[in-house]
Chain A
Amino acid sequence: MSLEAFSHSEPLTLGVELELQLVNTHNYDLAPYAEDMLRLMHKTPLPGSVVPEMTNSMIEISTGVCHSTSEVLGQLTPIRDALVKSADKLNIAVAGGGTHPFQMWHERRIYDKPRFQELSQLYGYLSKQFTIFGQHVHIGCPDADAALLMLHRMSRYIPHFIALSASSPYVQGHDTAFDSARLNSVFAFPLSGRAPFVLTWDEFGQFFEKMTRTGVVKSMKDFYWDIRPKPEYGTIEIRVFDTPLTIERAAALAGFVQSLAAWFLVEQPFEPSEDDYLVYTYNRFQACRFGLDAVYVDPATGQHMPLREHILQTLDHIARHAGAHGASGALHVLRGETASGQNDARWLRERMREEQLLAEVSRQAALRFRGSL
């Protein structure tokens, strides 16, 4: 099977997908209401789409094609409000966060859709452990080769994305000591991790053809890479973000990606190389484990520095481009929170310290998602 052609998209356009938790209002465990939510949501005309996810306590919302952070927020807001209204009608709640803090994976049920059932057959219990919640950001690229170049440049900033969005410190009722434990679940899948280092679409097509010949993959959907090209949209898709606790932070993270991409396109600040990946897994681990307190190893120089410092430097580099795309406000918020070491994982831990009950942490996370806290 050959790789499909890379569609045209307007460079630097944005698309955001958010996987969300459906929880009951009794003990705030995950609740299997995806089908009911979809039925109610289809009655409301909205931008973007609302679709089911792997297990039936999850739902995925996405924006249409956006040009700026404010447009992303402008589309996410009515979707969020409609979700909250539907949830109120069903007596459940919707929450962000990369993991549900205390759900038990074996209690999950696979959503009744052929692809999910096939994946469940193939991956066994891994598919139920895939009850994790991420944010995906698509960024429009001028052409296929530019997309691969952008993909490998973006790879240097994977730790930044992880630390800024981390919101999954609790798994199965325990503090994992990771800020983002979600990505450990993704790593269990055989086709996860990084994309191969090729910089032309022809070479990528050859790689894809070889992979399909082995029978291991059938389409691009079978790759669970941290960043992957999305030829049908003409974008690359960054998939390492935990779903933040608020749509405002989700929009701000999209603004960060857009500003970085603008910096890459306008200034061509560096050339990626295969050696960048020597420290990739280490940096990724550091960001998952320690969040904004991680150590970052610069792939080009080998210099060790606090990740927080490198994020602040990066924000300085992209400030001009953020201004040009209306993302200055969003990046200002990210800067403040980075400087103070605040991310959603820390917020969750602070709530837990205060409340001593993970179910209450979930309730407050749901209130935060609806904008009531």
Chain B
Amino acid sequence: MNELLSFWAQWLRPSAGLPTVQWALLLAVAAVAGYLVQRHSGLPKVLGYSLVGTLAGLAGFGGAVWPLQGIGLFLVELAVAVVLFEAGGRIPLRWFRHNPMVLVQSIAESALTCAAVYWAMLWLKVPAPVAAALAMVALAASPAVLTRVVSDTHAAGPVTERAIVLSTLSSLYALTLGSAQAGLIERPAAGLLGQLYPVLVVLGVSVAVGALLSLLMRLALRVMSPTSENTTILLLALIAASTAITAHLGGSAPLAALLGGMLLKQLHPRPWAWPRQMGTASSVLTMMMFVLVSTVAAQGQWSVAVAGSVAALIAVRLAAKAVGVGLGNVGSGASWRQALWVSCAMTPMSAIALLVASQLVLAAGDAGEPIARIALPAILVMELLGAVIAAFAIYRAGESSKPWLDLNRGSNPGESGNES
């Protein structure tokens, strides 16, 4: 593969550089794969994108570096920030006042996942610092995968909405605690204040940037229509700027975007109309993210030796999320059946888990290798398998606007089968 690329690099000298051509072609193939996967199996397009990324990664494609850094890191952070800003805007804080059990449900599933994965890894003789890092990685569900699956299936309903909210909140915890943990590894501290310091820095910077982002959007919305294309461009530009600034200041860019979305929803309870406008720009960005994540994750050192640990992490995580969602379901307004499908819809792991893992690996230095050895295959498997489980959960919950199996045979009379 590398010989082929070096021959190609000598033969072809494009103006924008060879990596640009490689990435453009990879995305083109991913777009075709995503379409074909959905057209012929009814599975989400994200599966096609991730498969192409996986194959590229396994074939030794060197366009993405691990641990994430440079332009690759920025692109993943930007795409995650866009998704999380929109997902944060779906969380009105007043909901938790009317239904505190949703918050209990979120904390229960996240805490249980973290604890269960940690203890499972210790039981498998994984060193404690590595187990702690893996627990943090496993905590994050993926609103990015879930929202793409929702978009593909044209889904709406209580299971869909709650799964997005719980996934977003788990991302909030993972990004905060993961960044703090990375800070602690880099600057070990003995006292309580010393241990809190990294958490406060991450949170402080992210809150400040998030608040600034939401205030600027709030000001813009005083004079601009949310349905205007220019408002969408402004939003994307502001998120891009905040992504670049936040990491530089020691905060978490996706966390800042998430908090920005939540704050804007509080300051501006009006309907969010720009997601429709974001359309293709957002789709290209997230598609690139899925390809990049799977390319990077596929570069992990696959071996039979770690397969048991990876399988254990995945199994324990699935069970812990299901039990946590179930425990907090009492009095939360959802049925037991819905709780089951919510926990299934929360199984994908993708870019946020990769960002947390990358941060922890970078901070851990030499100790980062064992973290990556288990985390990367787990992320890759759960990006692929998670998307399928989430799609299945949404169909079984009856919240998709189109039937799965009829995609191959044309749409059912009376049921919509529009291509998005």
Q: Which residues of A contact B (CB under 8 A)?
A: 24-29, 31-33, 36, 39-40, 85-86, 88-91, 106-107, 109-110, 112, 120-121, 124-125, 127-128, 356-357, 359-360, 362-363
Contacts and interface: CB of A to CB of B under 8 A. Distances in A.
B161 interface: yes
Given A32-B399, A125-B414, A89 B227 contact: no
B416 A107 contact: yes
Interface in B79-98: 89-90, 92, 94-95, 98
B307 interface: no
Contact of B95 (A32, A91, A112): A91
24 contacts: A25-B92, A25-B95, A26-B90, A27-B271, A27-B272, A27-B273, A36-B158, A86-B333, A89-B98, A90-B99, A91-B92, A91-B98, A91-B99, A106-B418, A107-B156, A107-B401, A107-B416, A109-B398, A109-B401, A124-B413, A128-B414, A356-B225, A357-B270, A360-B271
B58 interface: no
Contact of B333 (A89, A109, A120): A89
B6 interface: no
Contacts of A36: 158, 333-335
B275 interface: yes
B94, B157, B399 — which one has the most chain A CB atoms within 10 A of its CB? Answer: B157
Contacts of B398: 109, 112
B226 interface: yes
A36 B335 CA distance: 8
A26, A120, A128 — which one has the most chain B CB atoms within 10 A of its CB? Answer: A26
A27 B278 CA distance: 14
Contacts of A363: 269-271
A29, A36, A39, A90 — which one has the most chain B CB atoms within 10 A of its CB? Answer: A90
A176 B225 CA distance: 23
Given A28-B271, A88-B99, A33 B413 contact: no
A120 B414 contact: yes
Contacts of B154: 107
A90 B95 CA distance: 8
B157 A32 contact: yes
B219 to A, nearest CB: 18
Interface in B323-357: 333-335
A297 B207 CA distance: 65
A89 B413 CA distance: 35
A229 B269 CA distance: 45
Nearest to A121: B414
A363 B271 CA distance: 7
Given A27-B272, A357-B271, A91 B401 contact: no
A24, A91, A106, A121 — which one has the most chain B CB atoms within 10 A of its CB? Answer: A91
Contacts of A110: 414
Contacts of B227: 357
B101 to A, nearest CB: 9
Contacts of A39: 335
Given A26-B90, A128-B414, A90 B271 contact: no
Contacts of A24: 156, 161
Contacts of A89: 98-99, 333
The 3 A-B pairs with the shortest beta carbon distances in the complex, nearest first, are A359-B271, A88-B98, A106-B416
A362 B227 CA distance: 16
Contact of A360 (B270, B275, B414): B270
